[in-house]
Amino acid sequence: MTDLTRLSAAALSEKLQAGEVSSVEVTRAHLDRIAAVDGDVHAFLHVSSAALDTAQAVDDKRAAGEKLGPLAGVPIAIKDVLCTMDMPSTAGSRMLEGWVPPYDATVVRKLREADLVPLGKTNMDEFAMGSSTEHSAYGPTRNPWDLERIPGGSGGGSAAAVAAFEAPLALGSDTGGSIRQPAAVTGSVGVKPTYGGVSRYGAIALASSLDQVGPVTRTVLDAALLHDVIGGHDPRDSTSLRDEWPSFATAAREGAASKSLAGVRVGVVKELNGDGFQAGVHSRFAESLELMASAGAEIVEVSAPSFEYAINAYYLILPAEASSNLAKFDSVRFGLRVTPESGGTVEDVMAATRAAGFGDEVKRRVILGTYALSAGYYDAYYGSAQKVRTLIQRDFAAAFEQADVLVSPAAPTTAFKLGEKLDDPLAMYLNDITTIPANLAGVPGMGLPMGLAPEDGLPTGIQFMAPAREDVRLYRVGSALEALLEDKWGHTLISRAPDLSLGEEFAAMEGAV
């Protein structure tokens, strides 16, 4: 019998609709896979005890002839930054250990309404601050391609869950690359939608002007199908756009079927293809450009001089907004409370709670943000960073006059070793150098696999960016390149990932487990 965990969400959807498999069978296969490999991968912080019941309810609806959405009965993993009424939502922090929210995030409500089956909550850097998941209070997630390496961050749990075949779909959140960079280093697909395209209501806020929720999958079509479910206006998010969005799944299917990029102007961002990128990232990127050119794309070089300052502006704007957003963790309304031995006022309790509940990276960024916003420094730091944001938007506007989509590598290197950059915050921050500009300008971005680096055999990713509100271009162009690459390779990239369960079985035979 087919291993159901190896199938895409689109393929599972067909089988479910044809009655070839039940949602219970699909869900059980993924729960079994989680049981087999998650001890090694640690993608999940919580596995739902209700998943099989939810799946049964979807099967019952189908049996009763109800009209169901395309992803009905398909399991999904949810990043722990998103509030779920039936599962703890910790955002990777001790501060919220065991906290079960009294409401669902809008995107979670939409998943339930579309009859997807939540499998559990995925690991992440604490409050989404990090590029490796090593800043999770609950221990790191490991990269399914090499368990000694990072899965990217902050959404390493969601990326590892799909890359390890523990879930066909996952939700992530992307503030500076937390969906796209993990996609790059795990050989999966991730999309940061246009700012305001997907509701942020119930997403535990990191930096409100940058955060965006989006799909994490193994194929471009699956990302499109999921984006179609979670997108659209939400009156509970005042930054939510009222646009009518086209079907992203239709765009993805068209792109994959045509395998053509005729007439598409692809802009290579000069500043995002420079020194400091790993050799294998360079070479795979060059090959992808050649492949796109051979499919009819017009490759042009564009310059975005202000992108050089994006990371500097980002590490002022993000900490400033985070220091304000995280003020709600005050030991009063939810989460941890630590009372000093000597007792003390509510402010003493607050300070003791935040000392015990926040990890090092969170403390670092909250203090940095407090500094950037303090009187006398505000104009020089936060104010100047906001000006850089204007310059970056202008660079995007100029670039999109010359190109329909922009491209760059989705991450400067392949996955690095756990611990390698943990003691050097600035080096860790540089992992997001290619992804941050899109967040500062609010434009959509997609990361997808572009091959294995010859030097280490690990996945590399390409990033597409489109003008704000033109997410549909990412799906059309991304699915075309995905189809062209898979034709060239003769297989999907993710099919080359090591079979984690083999290790387990061999160990079992040896009597080690």
**Of the listed 154, 173, 323, 479, which one is catalytic?**
154
Please check whether residue 100 is in contact with residue 87, taking contact to mean a CB–CB distance below 8 angstroms: yes
> Within 10 A of 174 (CB to CB), how many other CB atoms are there?
31
Q: Which of 336, 433, 453, 472 binds another protein (CB under 8 A)?
A: 336
Using the rule CB under 8 A, give the single segment among 35-43, 253-261, 397-405, 433-441 that binds another protein: 433-441
Sequence-separated (6 or more) residues with CB below 8 Å from residue 232: 198, 199, 245
Q: Is 309 in the site for another protein (CB under 8 A)?
A: yes
- Decide: is 307 part of the binding site for another protein (CB under 8 A): no
* 512 contacts: CB under 8 Å, gap ≥ 6: none
CB of 427 to another protein, least distance (A): 10
Footprint (CB under 8 A) of another protein, residues 253-282: none
Interface pick for another protein out of 67, 263, 341, 345 (rule CB under 8 A):
345
Cβ–Cβ under 8 Å, residues 30 and 5 = yes
Which of these segments, 143-151, 289-297, 423-431, 455-463, binds another protein (CB under 8 A)?
A: 423-431
Minimum Å distance from CB 218 to another protein? 29
- Residue 46, classed as helix, strand or coil, is strand
Kindly give the pairing relationship between strand 265-269 and strand 405-409. Answer: parallel
- Does the footprint of another protein cover residue 339 (CB under 8 A)? yes
Active site residue 247: no
CA pseudo-torsion sign 360, 363, 367, 368:
positive
- 136, 178, 199, 479: the catalytic one is 178
Per DSSP, the chain holds a count of helices (H) and strands (E) of 17, 11
101 vs 231 by CB, closer to another protein: 101
User: Quick one: which segment of 34-42, 134-142, 219-227, 339-347 binds another protein (CB under 8 A)?
Assistant: 339-347
Q: Which is nearer to another protein, 266 or 441 (CB)?
A: 441
Closest to another protein by CB, 261 vs 438, is 438
- 453-482 residues in contact with another protein (CB under 8 A) are 468
Q: CB under 8 A: which stretch of 150-158, 184-192, 258-266, 306-314 binds another protein?
A: 306-314
Site for another protein in 93-152 (CB under 8 A): 99-103
If residue 273 lies in a helix (H) or strand (E), which one and from where to where?
Answer: none
Report how far residue 77's alpha carbon sits from residue 167's, in angstroms, rounded to the nearest whole number.
Answer: 6
Residue 49 token pair: 């005890």
CB nearer to another protein: pick between 32 and 237: 237
Distance, in Å, from the CA atom of 393 to the CA atom of 407, rounded to the nearest integer, reads 16
Pairing of strands 169-173, 75-79: parallel
Q: Are 182 and 206 in contact (CB under 8 A)?
A: no
**How many residues form the binding site for another protein (CB under 8 A)?**
75
* Least distance in angstroms from the C-beta of 178 to another protein: 16
Helix (H) or strand (E) holding 30: helix 23-41
If binding is defined by CB under 8 A, does position 354 make contact with another protein?
yes
Q: In this chain, which stretch among 262-270, 412-420, 435-443, 472-480 interacts with another protein, using CB under 8 A?
A: 435-443
Rule CB under 8 A: choose which of 18, 333, 502, 512 binds another protein: 333
Give whole-number Cα distances, 412 to 384, 438, 461, in Å.
Answer: 26, 16, 9
Site string for another protein, 437-456 (x = CB under 8 A): --xxxxx-------------
The span of 136-144, 259-267, 345-353, 477-485 binding another protein (CB under 8 A) equals 345-353
CA distance 164 to 186: 9
Among 50, 286, 300, 332, binds another protein (CB under 8 A): 332
What is the CB neighbour count within 10 angstroms for residue 313? Answer: 24
Annotation marks residue 79 as catalytic: yes
Q: Toward another protein, which CB reaches closer, 337 or 496?
A: 337
Q: Does 235 bind another protein (CB under 8 A)?
A: yes
Cβ proximity to another protein, 275 vs 510, nearer residue = 275
Residue with tokens 């960079």: 181
Per CB under 8 A, the list member of 351, 402, 486, 503 interacting with another protein is 351
Q: Could you say which of 8, 79, 199, 288 is catalytic? A: 79
Look at residues 387, 416, 507 and name the one whose alpha carbon lies nearest to residue 151. Answer: 416
- Nearest CB to another protein, comparing residues 39 and 344: 344
Look up 154 and say whether it is catalytic.
yes
Q: Is residue 207 involved in binding another protein (CB under 8 A)?
A: no
Length of the chain: 513
Distance set, CA 21 to CA 66, 72, 378, 487 (Å): 17, 12, 59, 29
Chain positions 365 to 394 lying near another protein, rule: CB under 8 A, are 366-368, 370-372, 374, 380-381, 383-391, 393
First to last CA, the chain: 26
* Contact flag: residue 178 with another protein (CB under 8 A): no
Closest CA to 273 of 450, 489, 416: 450
Give Cα 376 to chain centroid, integer Å.
36
Which among 350, 366, 106, 126 has a CA at the least distance from the CA of 229?
106
Catalytic residue IDs: 79, 154, 178
